[in-house]
Amino acid sequence: MSLKDQITEDMKTAMRAKDSERLGTIRLLLSACKQREVDDRIVLDDVAVVAIVDKLIKQRKDSVEAFVKAERMDLADKESAEIKVLQAYLPQRLSADEVLVEVRAIVAELGATGPGDMGKVMGVVKTRLAGKAEMGTVSAAVKTALAG
């Protein structure tokens, strides 16, 4: 079963359970997937769906930060609840150490040296670690690997 099919099944389950908060978040995710399919005229695979989930989680984290600064804990809590629902659709994440090991292997494979090769390394790393690690962590690991 594809990830998109799993999300659709979870939506049906949430509808039956009358779990409105979970249902709203899942509908938002399916809407983002459908929008991407229509815009790009493609059928999304699991990697693309994970990228959308990552994007939505990042947006929610930014919102939580803004709401906390504005002392709107009610809205921050709502966004945090959406993050928890969305995280269920992400594959198991690599730890920071595992990301660094992967990045160092890619740097060695490409023969990259110095910060000037960061773009080349990030291009390969993004495809290999898509959905397996947060890109902020990956970027920091690439900088570390190229510096040392």
User: What pLDDT score does 111 carry?
Assistant: 83
Whether residue 51 has pLDDT greater than 70: yes
CATH class, domain 3-87, is mainly alpha
Give which of 93, 92, 105 is closest to 142, Cα–Cα.
105
Question: Which residues of the chain form CATH 1.10.10.410?
Answer: 96-147
Residue 91 φ then ψ, to 5°: -70, 170
Whether residue 29 has pLDDT greater than 80: yes
User: What pLDDT score does 148 carry?
Assistant: 66
96-147 folds as Arc Repressor Mutant, subunit A (1.10.10)
pLDDT in tens, 85-132: 999 998 888 888 888 888 888 888 888 777 888 888 888 888 888 778
- The reported pTM is 0.78
pLDDT in tens, 53-92: 989 999 999 999 999 999 999 999 999 999 999 999 988 8
CA distance 43 to 105: 32
CB of 35 within 8 A of CB of 51? no
CA distance 77 to 115: 39
Question: Which residues of the chain form CATH 1.10.1510.10?
Answer: 3-87
Residue type, 1: M
